[in-house]
Chains A and B, each alone.
Chain A
Amino acid sequence: MNCQEFWDTLPEPGASEGAAHLAECAECAARMDGQKHLASAMASLGTEWRREEAPGHLETAALAAFRSQTAFTRARAVRRAWTPLLAWAAAAAFLIALSLMLVKPQAQPAAHRPSRSGGLQQAVLHTAPLDDETSADGFIPLPNAQRVDSPDTMNVVRVELPRSAMLALGLPVAPDRVTELVEADVMLGPDGLARAVRFVE
């Protein structure tokens, strides 16, 4: 047995093979003695410090750190438990939103869409003169209609018209929707003729 083999096998003290090598090798014998002294010193030190205790504040701090670590772990566990539920809820919400989009038809683009809540009152109060362009309240002068003059009394009726009426004003209407109905405010002149129209949302 050489020195390398001796330290690799760490023979138990008193073993015959190891004892033979220690008897032959003074260097290994000296190292082994040093180790035995160190082990003996550590054992006696442990015996002396057995009655020593850590300060109270250190124990409190250590316990607090332990509890916080435990609580964090518990919260993570709760979150982990809710994750599948939240995923299902999100999936259901997505499906409902998708069905809403599919059930409701796309709104037809219209040039002017005042709200229904605005009512006709709003319309009759703003019978501003109409020239060739659309007025601020969304009324479009009708082709071949007389201009709205200042001293004229203008009345407004709300009717439901086929979308094809929008074609007469040059507004785009999808061919498959011309028979659908759309609400419109029609401004009537004192002579009873329609002067302008606006489409209501």
Chain B
Amino acid sequence: MLARFAIAFAAAALVLTAQPPPFPRGGGPRFLGAEAGMPGRVVKNAPYSADMITETTQALPDGNRIHQTITVHVYRDSEGRTRTEQPLSALGALAPGSDLPTVIFIHDPVAGANYALNPRNKTVTKSGWRQMGGRGGPRNGHSETLPKQTIEGLAAEGTRITQTIGAGEIGNEKPIESITERWYSPDLQINLLVKRSDPRMGETVTRLVNINRSEPTKSLFEIPSDYKQSR
């Protein structure tokens, strides 16, 4: 009887040790999957392609500075489909020095689906279409209209929103002002330039460059035939 229990116990121990540990030790950041979110708004009859460049600058108290730049390629066709080629190097402090792939997100309101493509292993994740609405609430702050200007050859309407955190609200000795400046193109119905400055977070500038208003290639919004559904 004792021998039988010893065998059963040894078998159980073997099964347990054969399982991989829940958290592998060591190694760098690794890409596991992606899923396209819902587009905030579908814009038709205003096709374009462009590079969206975002620069963040953060000044540290010791005089050091952290500066990062990320470029996202964006496309939109006349039907409102969009394609975003997103390098994951933008994960920044979460995954410093990582070799994560570029992920492509396609939002297709015509097909009623969203896709996330991983060109590295040629997989695609499809998710259903649900138009999001009513998200978020009004932002508090003082808004002012800026004189129109031309950015990247397009007319742009400017708005500056100033939000103030009063002295003492979060333990601050003096008021904290964060300023957001948006330059919006009525033709393309997108922001051409957005500047944000906050003494707590530094400065972030996102601008659209290399804007091409011709119809992007149709294949950009299609799933290549050699891609496999990841799940």
Contact = CB atoms under 8 A, between A and B. Distances in A.
Contacts of A152: 40
A158 B12 CA distance: 33
Given A159-B29, A188-B86, A124 B91 contact: no
A100 interface: yes
A161 interface: yes
B202 A144 contact: yes
A97 to B, nearest CB: 10
A181 to B, nearest CB: 6
Nearest to B27: A181
Given A159-B32, A161-B29, A193-B56, A92 B196 contact: no
A85 to B, nearest CB: 7
B116 to A, nearest CB: 7
A158 B16 contact: no
A125 interface: yes
B1 A191 contact: no
A150 B136 contact: yes
B33 A158 contact: yes
A192 B127 CA distance: 20
Given A150-B40, A159-B91, A192 B52 contact: yes
Interface stretch (B18-26, B142-150, B152-160, B216-224): B18-26
Interface string B14-49: 001100011111111111111111111100000000
Given A150-B40, A160-B32, A183-B32, A155 B105 contact: yes
Given A95-B9, A179-B26, A193-B54, A153 B39 contact: yes
Nearest to B23: A180
Contacts of B204: 146, 193
Contact of B70 (A143, A160, A192): A192
A163 to B, nearest CB: 8
Interface in A123-153: 123-125, 127-129, 142-146, 148-153
Interface string A39-61: 00000000000000000000000
A194 B91 contact: yes
A105 B202 contact: no
A154 B136 CA distance: 13
21 contacts: A85-B1, A120-B35, A120-B125, A121-B128, A124-B35, A124-B36, A127-B132, A127-B135, A145-B201, A151-B41, A153-B39, A156-B34, A157-B88, A158-B34, A161-B95, A179-B25, A180-B24, A186-B91, A191-B52, A193-B54, A197-B94
The 6 A-B residue pairs with the shortest CB-CB distance in the complex, in nearest-first order: A150-B136, A120-B35, A151-B40, A124-B37, A150-B135, A160-B30
Given A103-B17, A155-B36, A181-B24, 19 more contacts: A88-B1, A95-B9, A105-B23, A121-B35, A127-B132, A142-B93, A143-B201, A146-B204, A152-B40, A155-B35, A155-B116, A161-B94, A179-B25, A181-B29, A186-B94, A187-B37, A191-B70, A192-B52, A192-B72
Interface of B: 1-2, 5, 8-9, 12-13, 16-17, 21-41, 52, 54, 56, 58, 70-72, 82, 84, 86-88, 90-95, 100, 103, 105, 107, 114, 116, 125, 127-128, 130, 132, 134-137, 194, 196, 200-202, 204, 206
